Structure 1
Amino acid sequence: MIEDQEKGLGYSEAYDLLSKFKIKPTKQRMLITKEVFSKTPKHFTVQDIFVSLIRRNKKISLASVYNTLRKFVELGVLQEIYIEPNKSFFDTIVTPHYHIYDKSLGQLIDVPEGSVKISNLPDVPNGKKINGINLVINIENHSK
């Protein structure tokens, strides 16, 4: 969930970011951009951003949030991590790294760099190369 104490971008920073990527800085996109990008890396869902803005009496649609976040993914400034067929998180860290998903808490956690070693990868077809590995370790509370 988005923390209230986190400071997002200011108006001019959000405007500059949208302009840099040739995205029209509408009021809704400005709200989303200011909410998403902060000095602290974070994971969030479309619903997290939507609820956070609605709680602050901002007029915005869920579709606007989703479409803006998808555009940021296309531009490479956000990463989308798929957890289940209908559940994904967005990550402000776009460099390759792995995650743990705690189903009990609904939280996505970064795995420390270097703590996962992947070996014995399968051969890929001729003319192809591996361009990335997505790894999410799913955990939940252990029942006794």
Structure 2
Amino acid sequence: MNDQASPLNDDGIDPAARAAGHQPALTGCPWHDVNEMLQAAGLRPTRQRMALGWLLFGKGARHLTAEMLYEEATLAKVPVSLATVYNTLNQLTDAGLLRQVSVDGTKTYFDTNVTAHHHFYLENNHELVDIPDPHLVLSKMPDVPEGYEIARVDMVVRLRKKR
């Protein structure tokens, strides 16, 4: 199988189709931007990584679960398994291109915004959104056991509609 980045079908950005006046079904990052992003992170730009990267990063900052990305890939006719989606999301997280945010023991979101920020979790519709206040800070950090350092602080504020 050829691992070179190439368009999968008309849902991708196919230069020949674009030259013929055909627009892709989805909008997203140009293939070369995803290719450069993957290579800069030390990841080989395989066909599946390219396609999933295009879906992930082509729509700005967003929060997705593996299942949400798998559904988008299926709708875009990207032939990937759910296991491949999980593996790719974990590889992109390890490479620093995504930020993993857990809201409970069963739901993990992947955030395309890797800057330090916190989140609201809307319990009623299972949605993760950025907290817009850039001045939100913890007033005191906990003492850290010897030999450890704080890698990151993730604050998730759970919200639900009033009854």
What's the TM-score once normalised by structure 2's chain length? 0.76
Q: Quick one: distance in 1 between partners of 2:26 and 2:74?
A: 17
Greater Cα radius of gyration, structure 1 or 2: 2
Structure 2 counterparts to residues 15-54 of structure 1, below 5 A = 15-38=35-58, 40-54=60-74
Q: CA RMSD in A?
A: 2.0
Instruction: Name the counterpart of 1:77.
Output: 97
Aligned-pair identity (%): 29
Deviations 1:90-143 (A, max 9, x none): 111111111000011111111123353312333223454433211101112233
Aligned partner letter, 1:48: M
Gap runs ≥5 in structure 2: 1-24
Aligned to 1:90, what secondary structure does the other structure show? Answer: strand
What is the number of equivalent residue pairs in this alignment? 139
Contact 1:6 1:38 in 2 (8 A): no
CA contact (8 A) 1:10 1:34 kept: yes
**Among 118, 124, 141, which residue is 2:161 paired with?**
141
Range 73-82 or range 124-133, more displaced: 124-133
Whether the aligned pair in 2 keeps the contact of 1:6 and 1:40 (CA below 8 Å) is no
Shift of 1:53: 1.2
The answer for unaligned runs of 5 or more in structure 1 is: none
Query: What is the aligned counterpart of 1:111 among 131, 138, 143?
Result: 131
Q: Deviations over 1:5-24 (max 9, x none)?
A: 97321122222222223322
Higher mean displacement: 121-130 or 46-55: 121-130
Q: For 1:142, give the aligned amino acid.
A: K
- Confirm or deny: 8 A CA contact 2:101 2:111 kept in the other structure: yes
Distance 1:123 1:35, change over 3 A: same
Match of 1:66 among 80, 86, 109: 86
